[in-house]
Amino acid sequence: MKLLFIALLGIFTIPASWMGNFSEAQKQAKASHKQILINFSGSDWCGPCIRLRKEILESESFEQYAYGNLLLVRADFPRQKKNQLSKEQVKLNESLAEVYNKDGKFPYTVLVDENGKVLKSWDGYPDESAQAFVAEINKIKNKL
């Protein structure tokens, strides 16, 4: 029975959970000693952002890796009225962009350590597979 449960658990990928508050993610990162992946996105207008989300960040390989190894923060900047965020979330996203995305690039992805130090950044859509993206993050993790 135990073996069956483990096998079934492997079939169903637990999706990675994206946060909207970097300060909360940083508290968790300090407690767990995990890196934080920040994704700046224009979810309803930026084609490369949508592609990045669908092809890499929502891939099974990334979600499996992220679940155990990363804390995820999405700073979304939608334009359509129907997708508008709360004023509080807009303020959080803008504050995060002031620190990590001063040039307003989209998509822009940043890997930081628990103290907020930038370990790696990706400007635009990473021209690699989801597996290669995960391998790159894992290589950085193993160097720390």
pLDDT value at residue 144: 84
pLDDT of residue 2: 44
Burial level of 119, CB count in 10 A (0-12/13-18/19+)?
middle
What's the confidence (pLDDT) of residue 15? 66
Cα end-to-end distance, the chain, whole Å: 39
Three-class DSSP category at 88: helix
Q: Which residue has the tokens 């390989």?
A: 61
Domains, the chain, ordered by start: 18-143 (3.40.30.10)
pLDDT of residue 54: 98
Q: What is the DSSP string of 121-137?
A: EEESS-SS-HHHHHHHH
pLDDT, tens digit only, all 144 positions of the chain: 444 444 344 445 566 799 999 999 999 999 999 999 999 999 999 999 999 999 999 999 999 999 999 999 999 999 999 999 999 999 999 999 999 999 999 999 999 999 999 999 999 999 999 999 999 999 999 998
pLDDT of residue 9: 45
